[in-house]
Amino acid sequence: MVTALMIIDVVFAFAVMASILLQQGHMPGLSGAFGGGGDSGPQMYAKKRGVDDFLERVTVVLTVVFAVLTLILVHIW
């Protein structure tokens, strides 16, 4: 039982990492801190659409499930 929960927990951990890495960045990074180029116009703060919005919701759900599974594992172990 514990081994199965650990395997599921690891799978959710990788899924959370993948969903975070697939999201598009919205900040210009270090170059923006010094006034450098990049996307500093109005489109930078545009509303997220489509895939970005979906990935954000998936990330939240996966993170909650991962946290609950981890707490259950800690309680059982």
Over residues 4-62, the pLDDT tens digits come to 999 999 999 999 999 999 998 766 656 556 665 555 555 555 566 788 899 999 999 99
Residue 61 lies in a domain: yes
- Residue 9's domain comprises 1-23+50-77
Looking at the whole model, is its pTM more than 0.85?
A: no
Taking alpha carbons only, the member of 16, 41, 19, 17 closest to residue 28 is 41
Residue 70 lies in a domain: yes
How many domains is the chain partitioned into structurally? 1
Cβ distance 38 to 32 under 8 Å? Answer: yes
More confident position, 34 or 65: 65
H/E segment holding residue 30: helix 30-33
Residue 73 lies in a domain: yes
Residue 37 lies in a domain: no
Residue pointed to by tokens 């199965």: 4
Cβ distance 1 to 75 under 8 Å? Answer: no
Is the per-residue pLDDT at 73 higher than 90?
yes
Taking alpha carbons only, the member of 48, 13, 43 closest to residue 28 is 43
Residue 42 lies in a domain: no
